[in-house]
Amino acid sequence: MRKVAILGIGQTKIGEHWEKSLREIGGDAAFAAMQDAGLEKVDALFVGNMLSPLVNGQNQLGTFFADWVGLWKQEAVKIEAACGSGAAAFRAALMAVASGDIESALVVGVEKMTDKAGRDVTAALATAADADYEVDQGISFVGINALVMRRYMHEFGWKHEDFAPFSINAHANAMHNPNARLHEKISVEKFERSSMVATPINLLDASPTGDGAAAMVIVPAERILRKPRILVSASAAATDTIAVHSRKDPLFLQAAYQSSKRAYEMAGVTPGDINVFELHDAFSIMAALSLEASGFAERGRGVRLALDNEISIQGRVPVCTRGGLKARGHPVGATGMYQLVEVVQQLRGECGPTQVDGAKIGMAQNIGGSGATILTHILRSES
């Protein structure tokens, strides 16, 4: 397998884009990535998306976007892995280029979630859970995470307010990201006063959805002349049971552990070598569980990292440096690509006030469902 590098990146601002269609949002990110790469054509297009059939009434997104961006006659396919669809599309493109089957690929993660009423989008999101044993019993996706968070607090003795630093950190970083949905700093007091969604998860524990797209162009590493060169050092994926209650330990993200372990081995690094970590903080509890399963904290101690300010830009494990899902926003099928684009921005030194000093190695972890599908990628900057 040959080395692969990222040639171009692009993204759109996350929000409620009533004036734009699904094809326009995805197209904007795709064109931006192609322009950044300095290319007019690629060999293949990979689209990450979860909800287009249910929310937008549109399937066959590979051809849909190939037609829109002018990649006629090229290979094009949609990849779906719930909220992990973006990273899954990137991994598929990566394997195609690394194998030598193609010389260039455009990857687009895209989601338009405002075309349906909130209840319909909630029902669509629930398709990431077990239809027979979770959804049909009346539990929502946020309800599943609330049960996990309640058990975590019981097992390890944390209070709800202890999770506040995850959200505070994300909102503080999003203030400097023009593409983030939420530009508002929050405090512990505001976090605690926030409206309850599904106890103990309140509004400021949860990430906002929205419309958005992020894209990348990848090519064999030897084709890139400009510096720094951003290499893909590792790509790994793993699964767990789709239903949380079927797991031996519902408080441990086994798929995060497996995928991060493989990624570390592939890249030849340890958690201590990671300069920036874009984790999947769909809910604050998932941030804590990801840190633990990925080797940055002991079991039940992920919250301590946040309380000790170790997840800040100046901390030991800078996370969600552009706002994370919590404040940048979570257009589900696009999220994995936003994470990867943001890691590239860090490794290029393009993050302004939220730039991690000397960042050379970055990791992105994208989660589908309640930890059922988890993909971990490690990128490296090479001068």
Catalytic residues: 83, 330
Cis amide prior to 208 (ω within 30 degrees): no
> Rounded to the nearest 10 degrees, how much is the dihedral formed by the CA atoms of 104, 109, 115, 117?
160
Place of tokens 């996370």: 319
Phi/psi at 4 (5° precision): -125, 145
Tell me the C-alpha distance between 267 and 379, whole Å: 9
Distance CA 237, CA 234 (A): 10
> What length is written for the chain?
383
Pair 248, 42: CB distance under 8 Å: no
